[in-house]
Structure 1
C-alpha cells in the first residue's frame, strides 16, 4: 500500500498551512537518533506512543521517507514545549492521557504494546463511520467522554504530524513539487500536467 492509499484510508481531510521561517528552522534542527532523544514535553511513555502512531500514519515507503525519517515526533515535542501556553499544554496532555488509557498503558509502561495495538486504535477511531466521527467532534469539551476525547487527540496528532511532515526540508524539496522561482501561470490544466500529480511544496 502506498502513502496516498494510507492517508486516504485514514480519512485525511486537513488544510495546508505554511510554516513561518522560525518554525521551519526548528523542524530542521530536530535530527536525533531515537536512543539519544530526550523529550522535553512528552513523558517517556507518551513519546513512545506518539512515535508509533505517527509512524503508522506516515510510514516509510519505497518512494518517500516516513515521518520518523524527518524527525516529526522530535519536532512536535519541541514545538509544543516552545510555542504552547500552559493551558494549551495541559489540554494536549489530557488528550495524550486518553490515548494511553485507550492503549491500556498503566504501570507496565509501553514495552508490552505491539504494532497491532496501535493499528486497532487507529482503525477504531480514525476509520470510524463518518456519523460516529461527527458525533465525537461535536461532543462537549468537558472531557467526560473517553471515546470522543481519544478521537480528538488522534485527529489533532494526525493533523499536526502531516503539517510537520510537509514542512520538512526533505519532503518539501524531494517529495512534493517544488519551484523556487515560479514562472508563468497556466490555468485550466490538470495536476498531472502541472506537477506530475504532486502537491505543491510552497
Structure 2
C-alpha cells in the first residue's frame, strides 16, 4: 500500500480523525498568507466559494481564531490534491460544482456574491429540521452531501491544526501523570484534548 492509499484509508475510515504524520505534515505545510493562496485542486472560483463558505462555518471569535486564520481552505485543497485518486477527485469536483450551481452566480461572476448568498445556501441545506435533512438524504441531494462533507472536512482540519491544538484545546505534549477519577473541569478546564 502506498502513502496516498494509507492516508486516504485512515482519513476516510476514521471519519477524518487521522493521527498519522503524513496528514499532519499536509496541514502544517499550509502556511501561505490568505491573499496569496492559489488553489491547486480547485479552480479559482471553487477556491473562493470554499473559502467563503468555510469562513461562515467556522468564523473568528473573540476567543478563538477562525478557519481562515489556520488555513483550512488551503488544507482541504492540498488534501484533495495529494490524497484523492482520480475517481474520488472526479466525484469531489462534481460535489463542489453542485455547490456553485446552487449559488445565485450572475454574469459578474463568483467574486460578486455576498455573504448573504452563502448564508442563504447554508440555511437552505444545513440549518434545517431533521425531517428535511432526512429528505435530502433520501433524495440523494448532491448539494446537501457536498455541504455536509465540506463542513466535516473543515471541522477536522480546524481541530487538527497546530494553532487550535496547542492554544485552544487542552494540550499536554508529554503527559506525566494519570489521574483516574477527576472531573473534566478539573483535568482540562472543560476543554477537549488535542491530538
Summarize deviations over 1:10-35 as a string: whole Å, max 9, x none: xxxx9671431111111111111233
Superposed CA offset, 1:94-152 (max 9, x none): 11111101113354321210011111111111111101112222334xxxxxxx11111
* Number of residue pairs matched by the alignment: 181
Partner of 2:7: none
Q: Partner residue of 1:101? A: 101
Give the TM-score normalised by structure 2. 0.87
1:140-194 per-position Cα deviation (integer Å, ceiling 9, x unaligned): 4xxxxxxx1111100000001100011111100000011122221323x432222
Which residue number in structure 2 is paired with residue 3 of structure 1?
none
TM-score w.r.t. the length of structure 1 is 0.84
Q: What is the distance in 2 between the residues matched to 1:84 and 1:111?
A: 27
Worse-superposed segment, 107-116 or 54-63:
107-116
CA RMSD of aligned residues (A): 1.7
Residue 152 in 1 paired to residue 145 in 2? yes
Query: Are 1:179 and 2:190 counterparts?
Result: no
Q: Does 1:167 align with 2:160?
A: yes
Q: Is the 8 A contact 2:16 2:153 kept in 1?
A: no
Instruction: Check the 8 A contact 1:18/1:167 in 2, yes or no.
Output: no
2:71 corresponds to 1:76: no
Question: Unpaired segments of 5 or more residues in structure 1?
Answer: 1-13, 141-147
Instruction: Decide whether aligned partners of structure 1 residues 16 and 81 sit closer, same or farther in structure 2, where only a CA change above 3 A counts.
Output: closer
SS at match of 1:111: helix
Unaligned runs of 5+ in 2: 1-13
